[in-house]
Amino acid sequence: MPSKKHPIRQAAEKPFVKTPDQSSTDTGSSKPPKKKFTGRVLVQLDPSVSTTDISRKAKTRSLRLIPLHALSAGHLNEGLDKADGIIFERLRVALVNERSAASIKQLQALRNTPFLSSEPERYIYARAGARKELPFKDTASATWGIQATNVRKSKFSGKDVKLAILDTGFDFAHPDFMGRVIHRKSFVGRQAKDREGHGTHCAGIAGGGRKGKAGVRYGVAPDSRLYIGKILNDQGEGSDGLALAGIEWALEQGCRVISMSFGAQVQKGDKHSVIFEEVAKIALANNCLLIAATGNESDREEGIIAAVNHPANCPSVMGVGALTENLKVSNYSCATVGRAGGQVDISAPGDDILSAWIDGEHEVESGTSMAAPFVAGVAALLWEEHPDVTAREIWDKLIGQVRKLGLRTVGAGAGLVYVP
C-alpha cells in the first residue's frame, strides 16, 4: 500500500499560490486541479467511552487504533501506515486509513457502538490570499483593470444602456468605435470633437471594447450607447454651469449613467454643493446614476491626504477612488477627510490604464479620472441585467458586489468595483 502523504504537505508540494506571472492575474488562465478527498476517514467517537475501550472494540474487527500521544511528533502519516488508525484523544475523533474504512463502517453499524459517525477526510489547501498582493499586468487579451474588475465574467456588455461621458469630447473617427452610433453635444463650442484626449480615454474605459478587432480589451461596456457631452474645453477646463448643462442633456436623453472625470479641489471641512446634491437626487429619481472622480491632490508618500473633490463629495454622487496594480490606494487619490467632507464610495483601477486616445491612437493614463469610468461601465452592465430596478438599487448593487480589499474605507471606500 503506498503511503499517504499528509494533506498539508501534499498541498505544499503542489503550489496553488501562483507566482506573479501574466497568467496569475489573468482570469482566463486555467487553474490546477484540486483533489478533494484523501481516501481516509474521520470518525466521531463517543466522548463517554475511554480510549482503551475504543481500541478494544476496534480489535473485534481486527483494527489497530493507537492514541496520538503514542506517535512521535510529526509522524502522523507513518503512524497510519503502521496502525489502522489514530485516536485524537482530546478531540474524541479518530483518523482511519483507507484500507480500514470499510471495517469502520461495520463497527458503526453495531448496537451501542462508540463509533458515532464518519466522514471522508478532505484535503485542505492554502488559500491564494497572496494573489491579490501581486501586481496585475496588462496581457494580450485584457488590460490589468479589466482583469482586476473581472468584467469578462459578466454575460452582459451594457447593450443599449445609455451611458453619458461628460468630458473633453471624443474622437468620433477612432477605428475601435467604427460602426457605433455615438450621440454628441458640445457645451463649449460647435463640435464635440476631442482635441485633448482625456474624454476619449474615459469614454474608452467605460464604453469601449478592444484595441482593433482582436486586441487587448480595455473597455467595460462595449455595447453601451455612448452619449458624449463636451463640457470641458480643449485644455480640459470647464465649470459648474457647463457640467449642469451636460447633466441636464444626459437626463433629457434618458441616460442611465453619467460618468464625470472632472472636479474642483476643496479644502478640509468644506461642505458639498447643495445644488449638485439636489441635482444628483433628481438624477437618481430619473433613474440615472452620477459617478465622479474623487480627485488627485493627495501625495501619500509625502503624508498629504487631500479631501474628495467637488462634485464627487456630494452624498448622492458616487465618488470613485483610484487603485494601483497592487490593489493599493493610488498615491494621488483623494480620501474622506473629516466629518464635513465627502467620502470615497468605491474604488477602481486608476494607475497606468490603457484606453483609446485622439487621432485613433491609444495611451496609458493615470488618475481617478480613469477609475470613475470603470464604475460607470460596470453600472451599465448592471442596468442591462436589471433594466427595471431603480438607480438607488444599482448603486446598492455596485457597493454590494465590490471585492473587499482590506483597505481603509477613507481611501478605498467599500472596495474594488467588481463583477462577481
Partner 1 sequence: MYFCGMEFIAKVEDSQKSNIGEIAASLEGMGIQIRRIMRITGTIFGSTRSLPLAKLKIKGIKSVEQDRRLRARS
Residue 36 burial by CB count (10 A; 0-12/13-18/19+): exposed, middle or buried? Answer: exposed
Binding of residue 412 to partner 1 (CB under 8 A): no
* Distance separating alpha carbons of residues 390 and 7, to the nearest angstrom: 49
Closer of 86 and 290 to partner 1 (Cβ): 290
The catalytically annotated residue of 154, 259, 330, 369 is 369
**Alpha-carbon torsion 266, 272, 274, 279, what sign?**
positive
Whether the Cβ atoms of residue 379 and residue 398 lie closer than 8 Å to each other: yes
User: Which of these segments, 16-24, 30-38, 108-116, 238-246, binds partner 1 (CB under 8 A)?
Assistant: 238-246
Q: How far is the CB of 378 from partner 1 (least distance, A)?
A: 19
Give yes or no for residue 259 binding partner 1 (CB under 8 A). Answer: no
CA angle 185, 146, 133 (to 5 degrees): 135
167 carries an active-site annotation: yes
What's the rounded Cα separation, in Å, for the pair 270 and 353?
Answer: 31
All three cell numbers of 407: 483597505
* Whether residue 55 lies in the annotated active site: no
Per rule CB under 8 A, count of chain residues that contact partner 1: 45
Closer of 266 and 327 to partner 1 (Cβ): 266
Should residue 183 be labelled a site residue for partner 1 when binding is judged by CB under 8 A?
Answer: no
Question: Interface with partner 1 includes 364 (CB under 8 A)?
Answer: no
Which listed residue (26, 121, 176, 196) binds partner 1 by CB under 8 A? 196
Residue 383's H or E segment, with its range, is helix 368-385
Contact assessment for residue 249 and residue 185, using Cβ atoms and an 8 Å cutoff: yes
| Residue 168 lies near partner 1 (rule: CB under 8 A) | yes
d(CA 86, CA 70): 9
Q: Does residue 192 touch partner 1 according to CB under 8 A?
A: no
Q: Are 250 and 229 in contact (CB under 8 A)?
A: yes
C-alpha grid cell for residue 194? 476631442
**C-alpha dihedral sign at 224, 312, 367, 261:** positive
Q: How far is the CB of 282 from partner 1 (least distance, A)?
A: 5
247 binds partner 1 (CB under 8 A): yes
Binder of partner 1 out of 236, 270, 331, 385 (CB under 8 A): 236
Q: Does 270 bind partner 1 (CB under 8 A)?
A: no
**One-character DSSP codes across 66-124:** EEGGGSPTT-HHHHHHHSSEEEETTTTEEEE-GGGHHHHHHHHTSTT-SEEEEEEEEP-
Q: Which one from 55, 194, 198, 345 is the annotated catalytic residue?
A: 198
One of 42, 107, 232, 255 touching partner 1 (CB under 8 A): 232
Q: Is 310 assigned a catalytic role?
A: no
Q: Which of 124, 275, 304, 340 binds partner 1 (CB under 8 A)?
A: 275
299 binds partner 1 (CB under 8 A): no
- Contact residues toward partner 1 (CB under 8 A) are 167-168, 196, 198, 201, 231-232, 236-245, 247-248, 251-252, 261-264, 273-275, 278-279, 282-283, 286, 293, 295-296, 309-310, 365-370, 372
| Enzyme catalytic residues | 167, 198, 369
